[in-house]
Amino acid sequence: MSYKYDYIVYIGRFAPFHIGHNTVLQQALTQAKNVIVLVGSSFRPRNVRNPWTYIERETMIYTSLSGDQFGRTHIKALRDYLYNEDAWVRQIQNVVDATIFNIERNKANVAIDSTPLKIGIIGHSKDKTSGYLNMFPQWEPIEHPLVQNIHGSDIREMLFDNKDLAYITGIVPPTTLNHLQNFIKTDDYVNLCDEHFFLKKYKSAWAAAPYAPMFLTTDAIVTQSGHVLMVTRGANPGAGLDAFPGGFLEQDEFMECGALRELKEETKIDVPVKVLRGCIKGSKIFDHPLRSLRGRTVTQAFHIELPPGPLPKVKGSDDARLAKWVPFNDVKSENCFEDHYDMFEYFIK
């Protein structure tokens, strides 16, 4: 069989993998010898926007395939770079190049062909999150129309609002439906439902406001001797996840004062405020529109670098279940709340 493309790249979060995704994937498989499916927002903790791990979404996709499609579909994980679009693009270029190199290298008894490979990238420009189609001019864009106006966000809303999967039967492949039937029996599902209803109640408090509110918060990234101070969140959203001490700015305080106040309240760090203030090395505003599920939340993070020495005593308090010093190499994106891993990478280069 002849194909128009050697490779087609298909990027998405697939949360969950629904019939819209499946239609696009099937079209790509009819046009290309190989399809490289890149699963975004991998290596992140579960939340109501990203309820499934990379492995679970990979399974949803693979189990929808049949025949020779298994050998022609290559699924890879992508991590998020919320504040570094160039790094995100470079990651995709590297993953695609490496995947193609391995496929071409492993072809047995095939004469080397010097003809340049024809590569396309397929998708639907539905909103700001799909503007990536224009970021890869080296690949031919393949626009695909929206399939039956199906959105993953609507499926997730139905899933957490009502355990009856009859609401989504017919808009996800049978294999995805089977996965969801197993998923709703897990503790992860129960915890996500708790978070879902917490967020709905949280947002209902200002639903009648004439304008959607914007929240200002502060965070403190305290480092010393190859360790960073983190807290384990005690409540939703993000209960049980690691985060930097911080919280909402009060009406009568400067951002720096708010960060130091929250730091002392949540960790009881055994260092005087005057010393902490003198060790502030820098700060940065983190304002990605999707950084928080609570609503539009902008934070200013302060990097406090203490001089080398024994780690000061800390104790979780207030909103923090636990305060702890974490070695740099033990900070994992899978365990970090919201965009706190991006903060860590910004300050700890």
Same domain, 25 and 106: yes
Cα–Cα distances (Å) from 302 to 232, 274, 313, in that order, read: 19, 15, 20
Between the two ends of the chain, the Cα-to-Cα distance in Å is 49
Q: Which CATH number belongs to the domain containing residue 271 in this structure?
A: 3.90.79.10
Q: According to the model, what pLDDT value does residue 144 have?
A: 80
Q: According to the model, what pLDDT value does residue 321 have?
A: 94
Q: According to the model, what pLDDT value does residue 166 have?
A: 87
Q: According to the model, what pLDDT value does residue 136 have?
A: 95
Q: Residue 68: which residues within 8 A CB-CB, separation 6 or more?
A: none
Same domain, 37 and 153: yes
Q: According to the model, what pLDDT value does residue 112 have?
A: 54
pTM more than 0.85 = yes
Question: Domain range for residue 326?
Answer: 214-347
Q: According to the model, what pLDDT value does residue 318 have?
A: 85
Q: Residue 29: which residues within 8 A CB-CB, separation 6 or more?
A: 35, 69, 72, 73
* Average of per-residue pLDDT values in the chain: 94
Q: According to the model, what pLDDT value does residue 207 have?
A: 80
Same domain, 171 and 240: no
Q: According to the model, what pLDDT value does residue 324 have?
A: 98
Q: According to the model, what pLDDT value does residue 164 have?
A: 82
Q: According to the model, what pLDDT value does residue 133 have?
A: 80
Q: According to the model, what pLDDT value does residue 115 have?
A: 78
Same domain, 233 and 133: no
pLDDT under 50: residue ranges of the chain: none
Please compute Rg for the chain using Cα positions.
Answer: 23
Which residues are registered as beta bridge partners of 223? 228, 305
Same domain, 177 and 291: no
Same domain, 219 and 152: no
Total domains in the chain come to: 2
Of 187, 205, 231, the domain-final residue:
187
